[in-house]
Amino acid sequence: MDRTEALAVLASADRQLVLHELVERDRTVTLESLSRSVAARRHQIPPEDLDGRKIERARYRLRRTHLPKLAEEGIIDSNWEESVSLADGERTDRLFGLSEELECWPPDDSLGYPYRSR
C-alpha cells in the first residue's frame, strides 16, 4: 500500500472510526455492534440514545461503501457481512503507520463522545 492509497482509505471519517473501533476492541466485532458504535460516535451521542434510523444509516454506509473499500484494500478480513476484524499483514501495518502522521488520528481526540457499545 502506497501513501496515496493509505490516505484514500483514511480520507473517510467513518472508515477512521471503523479502524479505531477494531484496534480498540482488538477482536472481531459484529456488524450490528460496529454500526451502533460508528453511529454513536458520528452523532456524538450515547448508544442508548440512538434511534433505529441512525443505526440503519450507519449500517448501510458501512455495508455499501466503507467495508467493501477496506476489504478491497486488504485491511479487514473478507468475511465482513456479519462480523468485522482487522486483517493481519503488511498492508494493515502500513496503513496504521501512515495514520500516525495524521493530526486527526486517533479519531477519539476529535469527537466529544467516544462511546462504544459492548
Res 109: pLDDT: 43
Cα-flanking dihedrals φ and ψ of residue 104, to 5°? Answer: -90, 10
Give the per-residue pLDDT at 110. Answer: 43
Low-confidence ranges of the chain (pLDDT < 50): 109-118
Distance CA 6, CA 97 (A): 10
Contacts with 5 (C-beta within 8 Å, 6 or more apart), sequence order: 73
pLDDT at 67: 95
Residue 35 and residue 64 in contact, taking contact as beta carbons nearer than 8 Å: no
54 in Cβ contact with 39 (< 8 Å): yes
Q: What is the pLDDT of residue 99?
A: 80
* SS3 of residue 86 by DSSP: strand
Q: Does the pTM exceed 0.85?
A: no
